[in-house]
Amino acid sequence: MGTPEHRRALAWIRRDLRLKDHRVFQRASEIAHEFVPVFIFDSTILGKLSSDDRRVTFIFDCIEELKDGLKQLGSALIVRFGDPTILVPQLAKELGADVVICSQDFERSAIARDRKVQELLKAQGCRFETGADHVIFPGKSILNKEGQPYRVFTPYSNAWLKLMDEHPEAISEVTWDSSRLVPLDKLRSHLGQTPTLESMGFQPQTLWLKAGEKAAQDRLQKFLPKILDYKKDRDSFAVDGTSGLSVHLRFGTISIRQCVRTARERKGEGPFTWLKELIWRDFYSMLLDRFPHLETGCFKPECDQIVWPGPEEHFQAWCRGETGYPVVDAAMRYFNATGFMHNRLRMVVAMFLTKTLLVDWKKGEAYFAKHLLDFDLASNNGGWQWSASTGCDAQPYFRIFNPTSQAEKFDPDGVFIRSQVAELGTAAYPKPIVDHSVQRLKAIALFQALRPAK
């Protein structure tokens, strides 16, 4: 390792709320003599959330854990609340940083924010650097023979696996030198008070899982004995057969590299199927990066013609879990209570909203975005467009899940459904608000009427 080119770095953490396998810390400790970790509660993002948003509690708890961890290493985490486009340049100046490092974000609003930060930093003589951490292979790394992004998952996944074989270092654990952290004594005057949840306008929420890096590692350990049966159990929503790591992956309390290593170190169909799910995550992130129109419209432009006829009261009944279809209602009630939903149930309720209630997928997408603890724009949009058949490599429009047979197949004893719909089988339970067999034909007709996009 040569002499670091920078005097002091500011390591701006965002979706990487951990200490282990941390690419931004590694880069900072490599290119600067010393570095300061910084986290900003972004007032632009938080300003759009309701005061009972669970994600803010999750992040807050992670930050508390990180503060302790960095204190034990003899340093500190600088925490602020406000607009990062103002605060990052301000902090860089205040702390004498000549470089700011953070992990790359692929959402349009984040890209615009980072561009602005970069310009402002440049004007004050400070460099801005981003690197991939949230995914294994970012947007442009995997292209087909024509140099274009893949539009079908299986060839993408094959190319991903091939690239992984050629570059196993892409998932090597990243270590960093904690002696490069600026010592606590030099930071005291900059620390200030960490904003409280209340001071930022939020109430602490009870979460279905523990926040933080330690909790993520515990969850992974708990999943390891189940990974061999993952292929068999992953679709059963009555069985706890999946990792439950999506929230941790979303906020980077665990690194995606560690998850991929875990899958690749194990033989068998279970670990390989789990690896494929992690590749879906990269796939959707790549799609959002390469096809930014996804954020506001359908991947297949002709599908933007669809005028979804489902009425507002049906959408509201879906949100409340009062459609009269037990599996849908159980899933939505559990979701409303926790902010989490099993993957198979996400597909069932998304397809039910679009193909049975004939409501625009964007309304469901927005409802999920508001309440999902693991909300990730790329995966959520990908999941919704897959279910609505408007997306890239989506479910064919005529292959519509029957909610009753999905329940029979994946919750045969009704364990999950009864746990959420106590009034099932009584007069208090709502009658089905529509007839699925009639509605599915209307959904098919909506797609058959589409004209090729101009």
Ligand X SMILES: Cc1cc2nc3c(=O)[nH]c(=O)nc-3n(C[C@H](O)[C@H](O)[C@H](O)COP(=O)(O)OP(=O)(O)OC[C@H]3O[C@@H](n4cnc5c(N)ncnc54)[C@H](O)[C@@H]3O)c2cc1C
Binding site for ligand X (CB under 6 A): 234, 242-246, 249-250, 277-278, 280-281, 284, 342-343, 346-347, 350, 368, 372, 374-376, 379-380, 382-384, 387
**Encoded amino acid at 222, one letter:** K
Q: For residue 340, give the nearest of 134, 54, 57, 49 by alpha carbon.
A: 54
Q: State the Cα angle at 13 between 7 and 15, rounded to 5°.
A: 150
Closest to ligand X by CB, 65 or 282: 282
Backbone region of residue 368 per phi and psi (left: phi > 0; alpha: psi in -120 to 50; beta: other values)? alpha
Bridging pattern class, strands 32-42 and 6-13: parallel
Q: Kindly state the smallest distance separating residue 257's Cβ from ligand X, in Å.
A: 13
Residue 280 among the catalytic residues: yes
CA distance 88 to 318: 42
313's CB contacts (< 8 A; 6+ apart) are: none
Task: Give per-residue burial for 34-43: e unless 16+ CB within 10 Å, then b.
Answer: bbbbbbbbbb
Residue 384 among the catalytic residues: yes
First-residue to last-residue Cα distance in the chain: 55
CA distance 254 to 214: 9
CA distance 213 to 249: 10
CA distance 12 to 252: 13
Q: Kindly state the smallest distance separating residue 297's Cβ from ligand X, in Å.
A: 17
Q: Kindly state the smallest distance separating residue 446's Cβ from ligand X, in Å.
A: 19
Closest to ligand X by CB, 280 or 429: 280
At what angle are helices 312-320 and 326-338 packed, to 10 degrees? 70
Closest to ligand X by CB, 104 or 379: 379
Q: 3-class SS at 315? A: helix
**Encoded amino acid at 79, one letter:** V
Residue 313 among the catalytic residues: no
Q: Kindly state the smallest distance separating residue 325's Cβ from ligand X, in Å.
A: 17
Q: Kindly state the smallest distance separating residue 140's Cβ from ligand X, in Å.
A: 19
The catalytic position among 12, 274, 318, 361 is 361
> For 452, what's the count of Cα atoms within 13 Å in the CB-facing half-sphere?
1
Closest to ligand X by CB, 106 or 176: 106
Closest to ligand X by CB, 8 or 234: 234
Closest to ligand X by CB, 35 or 150: 150
CA distance 381 to 374: 13
Residue 208 among the catalytic residues: no
The catalytic position among 308, 322, 336, 402 is 308
Bridging pattern class, strands 127-131 and 6-13: unpaired
The catalytic position among 280, 302, 322, 402 is 280
Closest to ligand X by CB, 34 or 376: 376
Q: Is the four-CA dihedral 132, 138, 142, 148 of positive or negative sign?
A: negative
Q: Kindly state the smallest distance separating residue 384's Cβ from ligand X, in Å.
A: 5
Q: Kindly state the smallest distance separating residue 382's Cβ from ligand X, in Å.
A: 6
User: Which residues, listed in sequence order, are joined to residue 35 by a DSSP beta bridge?
Assistant: 9, 181
Residue 308 among the catalytic residues: yes
Q: Kindly state the smallest distance separating residue 381's Cβ from ligand X, in Å.
A: 8
3-state secondary structure 376-414: CHHHHHHHHHHHHCCCCCCCCCCCCCCHHHHHHHHCCCC
Residue 274 among the catalytic residues: no
Closest chain position to ligand X (CB) = 383
Determine phi and psi for 24, rounding to 5 degrees: -65, -40
Closest to ligand X by CB, 25 or 283: 283
Q: Kindly state the smallest distance separating residue 260's Cβ from ligand X, in Å.
A: 10
CA distances from 320 to 175, 323, 367, 421 (A): 46, 8, 11, 12
Closest to ligand X by CB, 37 or 383: 383
The catalytic residues are: 277, 280, 308, 343, 361, 384
